[in-house]
Amino acid sequence: MKHATQIHDRRAFLKTLGVLAAGAALAPAIRVLPAFAASGVIKTSEQRMLMGTFVSMTVLAPSQGLGEEAIGRAFAEVERQIGIFSRFDPSTALSALNRDGRLNGAPQELLDVVAFSGDLHRRSSGRFDATIAPVVNLLERSHGKPDAKDLKEALALVDGSRLRSSGSNLRFDAAGMSATLDGVAKGFIADSAAEALTTAGVANFLIDAGGDIRVGGASDGLVRPWRVAIEDPDKQGNYPAVIDMKAGAVATSGGYEVFFDPSKKSHHLVDPTNGASPQYVRSVSVKAPTVKEADGLATALSLMHPREALRLTESLPGHDCLLITSTGARISSSTWG
């Protein structure tokens, strides 16, 4: 999915922690099966290394010039928003919030993502928590083997309800708190890129932001849907599902790519109650109207019991999920397929 034919090779990804890190971060692979443009429609693709991963865009337009211009505008929007959300760049708004514990006059994009994160925190009974950053940072430093006292202190700083907003101002309730929006910001940025494409006059497109997919229209510019294969956690090519899409998004969250420890028991999905990583649910794929919703919900569901995960998904119109367990079982919401 990372070149002109849109076939995604995850093995080419550099393995570095964090969606917005300096290296390439990993999300579980989603493969877009190749498609070809109909007569009179020009297919244009471009890939860049951004947000710590490969971001590719494919559009189908009446002319190559229109396609290239639209992609250029969309990438410009991606780069602008990276300047808001990266927690690894000290000049961003998120970094300023983490450093100072408060931020006055926050960008609207940051306010929107924080609001969405807070809502998902409530809906998921705290499983999705943007303030997990102190624990993630500790696990990274300790290679997944933190001192019990240090872990207890880090967990005491985790509570999404204590990231407050008032007008355009944001603040943490306690000193030492910090946020990571890795579980949703990349999706928000991909959605913004999709808006940029449609504003530029492109109706048929696919955006792949490190495995987070947003599509519009047809893969041939006429009628054929985009075909997306969910990756096999065992990397044996036994795709759990292949779905056809003409609109919306799909994202997968799983703990089988990025690890803190050699035993691969501690990974980037972290339970905010105890700092542990889930072992039973190996991957969660979510279809949703936007990548922001798919990405965030997939993270939350990964940290829930399957029954709770299905209950939450079924309560959200337009959302579907597919869970793959450590035994290979496939558990899906009623309308997945």
- Specify the DSSP class assigned to residue 180: -
Which pLDDT belongs to residue 22? 30
Which pLDDT belongs to residue 14? 27
Rounded mean pLDDT, 325-336: 92
Rounded mean pLDDT, 3-29: 32
Rounded mean pLDDT, 12-25: 30
Contact 109, 188 (CB under 8 A): yes
What's the CATH fold of domain 93-172? T-fold (1.10.3980)
Q: What is the DSSP string of 263-328?
A: TS-SBS---TTTS---SSEEEEEEEESSHHHHHHHHHHHHTS-HHHHHHHHHTSTT-EEEEEETT-
**Sign of the dihedral defined by the CA atoms of residues 113, 119, 124, 128, in that order:** positive
Query: Chain-wide mean pLDDT for the chain?
Result: 87
pLDDT classification of 27: cutoffs 50, 70, 90? very low
pLDDT classification of 8: cutoffs 50, 70, 90? very low
**In this predicted model, which residue has the larger pLDDT, 231 or 56?**
56
Query: How confident is the model over 64-103, as pLDDT tens digits?
Result: 999 999 999 999 999 999 999 998 899 999 999 999 999 9
Report the distance separating Cα 228 and Cα 250, nearest Å: 9
Which pLDDT belongs to residue 184? 95
**In this predicted model, which residue has the larger pLDDT, 11 or 112?**
112
Which pLDDT belongs to residue 36? 58
Which pLDDT belongs to residue 288? 98
Q: Where are the domains of the chain?
A: 93-172
Rounded mean pLDDT, 197-224: 95
pLDDT classification of 7: cutoffs 50, 70, 90? very low
